Structure formats: structure tokens, C-alpha cells
Structure 1
Amino acid sequence: MFKIGPHLSTSRGYTNMGRDALKISATTFQFFSRNPRGSKMKKLDEEDIKGLIDLVRENNFGPLLAHAPYTLNPCSSTESVREFANLVMAEDLERLRYFENTYYNLHPGSHTGLGIDAAIEIISAQLNLVLREDQETLVLLETMSGKGTEVGSKFEEIGRIIKGVNLKEKVGVCLDTCHVHEAGYDIVGNLDGVLEEFDKLYAIHLNDSKNDREAHKDRHEVIGNGKIGLEAIERIINHEKLRDLPFYLETPQDLEGHKKETELLRSLRK
């Protein structure tokens, strides 16, 4: 079954997120674990969470993806920012114990002057502090576009972070199609070659890109309207190494727009 869905808002509650997904025939979705540009976390409502769990079970949803806030930077050169990241990750993973079948997606961060090597060591160390043997949620490191001092725009950097993690079975990778395109990987002309470099891939952020390859800007576009294009998107969703993974849309669309995208993508599945 094609597991695909958009990024949804938690403003109306967890159960309503599931209902919104069903309205557009989505079979999974992504949501922010807390305020994406702050630190506040939605108050825990176990009944609301249970309602979502029941809905997910009844409709055979794929894994739900909780996205860490953009303010999280585990490899910052500022100690207080690193401490905040550690606190947020620990709190989010503890909250996700109430859910079932979830992934936790995070940006590796920006080294802000420390350098790539030091940043990679710090990110691994941060993950070693928060990961627990008994946790069920899988933590996914997202591939990045390479703007500024971002870590994770090269697959090798993601691999080195995971190599430094003790509980390797608790971590994986989320490939963002816009990000890897803008990082310089040729997913349009050489998808097979790009995927040969990948390991521990568990999820796809399916986005078109406003920019040409290697732009390093991170500008998402509606499916089929960008520089990746619909033909390449079709190859991605049907590729033997990707087709059974969950796909999450982060395109600049409202719910109705995501419905149209979902219908389009389903029509392209082979």
C-alpha cells in the first residue's frame, strides 16, 4: 500500500489530524512535536492521543512522523543552544512513548563555526544522551540542502553521525528530495547512482524544488511545478528501493492542495 500524506497542524488536536488525513485519502502524515519556531509543547491529552491511535489502527496508516522544531540545533557553538536541543529531544521522545508506530525526524543542525568534524562528534554524543534501549520511536536524521553551516547535506556526514551512535538500531535517515537535489545530488538524471550511497533509509520527504541542482537554498515547490519535475518524482515513488517507504509531503499547499497532490501521485504509482 502506498503510504503517503502531508504535514498537518496539531492546532485542532491529534485525533482531528487523523480525520483531516482521511479527508484527503492520506495513509500517513507528519506533524510538529511542538511549536516549530519556539519551545512550547502541546499539553498532553491521553484521550486525544488514544483517539488518533485507534484511527491509525483502523485505517492501516503508515508510521506517523513527528518533526522536531526548527529551533533545535544539537551542534551549535553555543552551549545553551546545545542544552536546549538535548532537553527538547529527550522530552519529545518521552512524549512519543504514548503513541504507536512513530518516527522522530530532526535536522542535524548547523555548526555555526565549530566545523563539520566537531559538529558530527557533538551530534552523535547528543543522540547517545537521549536514546534509550526501551524506546520504540525511531529517530531519523534528515538530509539537508547545505545552506550556511548546515551539517548533513552530504550522505557521508549522516553516515559518520550514525557511526558514532551507540544504539544504531534506534536511528535512521529521512531523505528529503528537495534538499538532496539542492545539495547537489542528481536525483533527476541518476537516481540509481544516488541511492547506491544510501543506508538505513526509512522515510521520504517528497518535495519538488524551486531551485536548480546544487543551489543550497532549501526552497520547496508543489509536486510537478519545480526543477525536479513530475517525471523524476514518478521515478522516485516507484523506485524499488523507495516504493515501500512512507512519503511525507512538505509542499506549499493547503489541505485541498495536498489532496490533489496525493491523487496525482497515486495515479503515477505502478
Structure 2
Amino acid sequence: MADGLVISVDGMGGDHAPESVLDGIEIAARKAPGARFLIHGPAARLTQMLEQRPAAKAASTVRDAEKFVAMDVKPSQALRQGKGTSMWNALVSVETGEAQACVSAGNTGALMAMAMMRLRKMEGVHRPALVATWPTAQGFAAVLDVGANVEADGSQLVEFAIMGEAFHRAVRGSSRPKVGLLNVGSEDQKGHEEIRSAARLIREAGVDLDFYGFVEGDDISKGTVDVVVTDGFTGNIAMKTAEGTARLVAGFLRE
């Protein structure tokens, strides 16, 4: 592979793989001509399909993996039986330093479990989080956690805040993203102990964040802050509610 950014891709991850995966690589290859892609999956099939995607073909190397992780497999089963699958091999490419990032649209629980095993966690991070990029009136907000952890204590929410702030700076190029904790009100006394504890820790521990304080659900789409922090249970419900509302409005507009 050429020098520069190398992205390892699970070619069989997702409900519409591999077609949608290769379509995504075609778009990415055109937008980022310096990037290279390692695509893991059935080599003969992927190679044939790349013939209709010239930019992806020129920027990619295919690594054969005949097995893949099904969308309905439990994480524990994926760990036991996942070795040699397209998802597993995509992660191993990052572990060995051959690629700098791994992309998969496959089974989220399996991906999280495999990543924890193969890549481990960064120092200071006790739990990973899922982040969603949420369209707002100001551009987009990074919302996390949206499903990895149904519960999170105050210290874990602080970790999510730090990771979310770093994510927003890296993706959006923001110099100082504004961070808020999702709550049922903006007053200091509102919310459960975990969310109030997180606010105290951020304010009193000298965490280097532009901390806005508490935000409410409608603040997400307003773009009141750049990073919205919550537990995975609340975040997932908020995200799915927004998705359903968007589909409902789109349906009304088509009628």
C-alpha cells in the first residue's frame, strides 16, 4: 500500500453489503484521492464488483475473507467464531499497523467486542462509546453515547465528553468545541446523580473543556453545543426518535 492514510474496510459489513460498501469507497476515493483502502471479503466477488467502480479499484487492495459476521449474531458468539471473518481481519490490519482506521457497517455489538479484544482501549478510557453526527442549525453535533452503554456513571460521562470533544475537533476542525450534558433541564439541581456528578467533575477537576453545562433535547438540533454527552440508553432513544421524525416529515412532504 502507498504511504499516507490507509483505511481497513469490512467489505461484508451491513445489510446491503458489499454493494453499498463499495459504493461508499468509490465516493471516498474521489473525495480523498490520497487515501488507500484495504477491503476484506470474498476476493473474487469484490474484485469483479470493483470493475464498475474505477476510483475504488485504483485505490484499493482486496484481502480474501470468505466468512463474515451476520447482523443477528450475539457479540459473545462473534468473539468465539469470528476469527478470519471480514470484520475480524479488518481490525487486525489496524492492530498490526498496516492501516490507521477500520470502517464497518456491520453488527455493532460484534464490532465493539472484537475491537475491545484486538485493539484494546486507550489509556484513561474505561468504556468505549458510540458517536452519532447529528445535523443541526449550526452544522452538526457529535452525540455520544448512542448505544454502547445503557448506563454510565459520572466519571464515564466525563470520559465521553473528552472523547467527543476530540472527535469534533478532528472531524470538523473545531478549535474549541462547546460541550453539553443532556439533561431534563438546564438548572444545576435537575437530573439524576450521575449527570450532576459529571457536571461537578468537569467543573471542579479542571478538565480542559469548553463546558456549556446542561442542555435539553431540543438543544441538540438547535446546535446549542457542538458535543452532546449522555448515556447510551438515552442517546439511542433520542437518535431513533429523531430518525423516525425525519422519516415522518419526509413522508408528509412527498404526499
Output the TM-score relative to the length of structure 1: 0.29
Name the structure where helix makes up a greater proportion of residues.
2
Which structure has the larger Rg? Answer: 2
Output the TM-score relative to the length of structure 2: 0.30
